[in-house]
């Protein structure tokens, strides 16, 4: 008997505009082509492709995504490779439509009516059962695992689960809330999940449970290597899961300490530090075609004032690229955060009653306590609520512990501006 090889992916979001420029066609579509190509050319012959929901970004994208999804599925079917999928909250209607109207051979949408469906497949004379359920609307308030069958498969025939769900979500989740402990009560030996875009192993054994993560990171919160997972099932039933990085665009956040950086030649020093940090962070970069970076500068630094004025220039480099694995990978700067602090002694500024002293006292108080008083906390929250990026991407909302750092960084910038004006007026 031979191993069964399944390539597993989720959250393709075909049709999503990913703002990191220069990609033709868009990155999620490039990642889909790479996924299909990998199935067809992998050294380990792939028996089936498993997709755990959110294949389309929106139900309204049937026409736009019709050709490329159909072509990919047909190329796989022509080579005898099955595609087994469930729909997620983003493609609850369109995927069922697609399956019903096209009836592509060897494309199996499990549980399209919202009821669990278990199908038996035969690979190399071995039986494998795959069970899944699809979203039928953009929300699902109940726990889908509560209605999942407990019926065991025949001995020596593995049973896998395919699901789009929100594991251990806060109460009130409308995306199929389940508990990580639920999986242990079911007879499945592995679960492949979609919905959370960060790839994550939830349980290593009995059963094996994994979030595949988005096939292509969609914004700066989805950093690091993204792609598919190769699930190998040995004749003994033993399973192994290996990452297959496929995303052409990779997002990285770099934290760079500028404490000891002198003002002289600051541009050369900072550029070198950025590229050194990037080189250290860039593992599994063989598939990467482009990098998009967020720079987080921190530390008490003589560069504080220079950065306040000039840091955007760091994003102006023409044809920026980094050498990696014997080739040059282009990169662009998504954003730059100046969380450095000025090197001055804040206490000296707190004397008196002018605006500078009032602000310095406020900042010193927050710095020493490491947290904001309630009225400032509310102010920061109101400020964040108006941020256009956060409105669209609630996952990027800073943790409450970061509010104080955010307030201090804005406060120090204002203080520095006031000090500069005062000097100019002397």
- For Mn ion, the binding residues (CB under 5 A) are 11, 54
Q: Name the residue nearer to Mn ion (CB basis): 201 or 395.
A: 395
Per the structure block, which two tokens stand in for 259?
């404490």
Angle at CA 295, nearest 5°, toward 293 and 299? 160
Closest residue to Mn ion, Cβ-based? 54
9 Rama class: left (phi>0) / alpha (psi -120 to 50) / beta: beta
Q: Name the residue nearer to Mn ion (CB basis): 192 or 307.
A: 192
Q: Name the residue nearer to Mn ion (CB basis): 54 or 117.
A: 54
- Nearest of 270, 240, 237 to residue 254 by alpha carbon: 270
Measured CA to CA, the distance from residue 192 to residue 229 in angstroms comes to 9
Q: At which residue do the structure tokens 């192993």 appear?
A: 201
Least distance between Mn ion and beta carbon 109 (Å): 17
Least distance between Mn ion and beta carbon 195 (Å): 6
Q: Name the residue nearer to Mn ion (CB basis): 160 or 165.
A: 165
Per the structure block, which two tokens stand in for 69?
């999804």
Least distance between Mn ion and beta carbon 327 (Å): 31
Give the largest CA-CA distance in the chain. 88
Q: Name the residue nearer to Mn ion (CB basis): 192 or 293.
A: 192
Least distance between Mn ion and beta carbon 136 (Å): 16
Measured CA to CA, the distance from residue 19 to residue 373 in angstroms comes to 37
Q: Name the residue nearer to Mn ion (CB basis): 47 or 91.
A: 91
Least distance between Mn ion and beta carbon 23 (Å): 19
In b/e form, how buried is each residue of 146-184, taking b as 16+ CB within 10 angstroms? eebeeeebeeeebbbbbbbbbbebeeebebbbbeeebbe
Measured CA to CA, the distance from residue 50 to residue 31 in angstroms comes to 15
Least distance between Mn ion and beta carbon 81 (Å): 24
């Amino acid at each position: 008997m031979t191993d069964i090889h399944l390539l597993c992916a989720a959250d393709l979001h075909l049709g999503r505009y990913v703002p990191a420029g220069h990609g033709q066609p868009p990155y999620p579509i490039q990642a889909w082509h790479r996924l299909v190509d990998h199935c067809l050319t992998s050294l380990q012959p792939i028996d089936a492709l498993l997709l755990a929901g959110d294949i389309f970004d929106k139900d309204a994208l049937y026409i736009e995504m019709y050709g490329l999804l159909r072509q990919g599925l047909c190329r796989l079917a022509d080579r005898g490779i099955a595609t087994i999928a469930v729909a997620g909250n983003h493609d609850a209607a369109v995927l069922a439509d697609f399956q019903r109207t096209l009836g592509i051979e060897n494309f199996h949408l499990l549980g399209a009516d919202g009821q669990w469906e278990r199908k038996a497949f035969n690979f190399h004379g071995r039986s494998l059962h795959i069970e899944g359920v699809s979203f039928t609307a953009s929300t699902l308030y109940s726990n889908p695992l509560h209605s999942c069958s407990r019926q065991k498969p025949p001995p020596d025939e593995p049973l896998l689960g395919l699901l789009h769900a929100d594991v251990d979500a806060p109460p009130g989740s409308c995306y199929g809330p389940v508990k990580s402990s639920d999986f242990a009560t079911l007879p499945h030996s592995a679960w492949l999940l979609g919905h959370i875009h960060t790839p994550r192993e939830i349980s290593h054994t009995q059963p094996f449970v994994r979030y595949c993560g988005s096939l292509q990171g969609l914004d700066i919160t989805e950093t690091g290597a993204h792609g598919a997972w190769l699930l190998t099932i040995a004749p003994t039933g033993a399973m192994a899961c290996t990452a297959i990085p496929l995303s052409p665009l990779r997002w990285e956040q770099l934290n760079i300490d500028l404490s000891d950086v002198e003002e002289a030649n600051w541009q050369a020093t900072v550029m070198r530090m950025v590229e050194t940090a990037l080189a250290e962070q860039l593992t599994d970069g063989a598939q990467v075609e482009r990098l998009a970076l967020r720079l987080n500068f921190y530390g008490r630094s003589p560069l504080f004032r220079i950065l306040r004025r000039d840091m955007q220039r760091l994003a102006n480099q023409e044809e920026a690229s980094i050498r990696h694995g014997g080739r040059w990978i282009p990169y662009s700067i998504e954003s730059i955060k100046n969380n450095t602090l000025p090197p001055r002694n804040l206490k000296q500024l707190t004397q008196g009653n002018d605006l500078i002293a009032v602000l310095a006292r406020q900042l010193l108080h927050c710095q020493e306590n490491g947290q904001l008083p309630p009225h400032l906390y509310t102010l920061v929250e109101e400020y964040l609520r108006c941020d256009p990026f956060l409105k669209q991407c609630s996952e990027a909302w800073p943790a409450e512990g970061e509010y104080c750092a955010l307030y201090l960084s804005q406060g120090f910038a204002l203080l520095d501006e006031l000090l500069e004006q005062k000097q100019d007026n002397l």
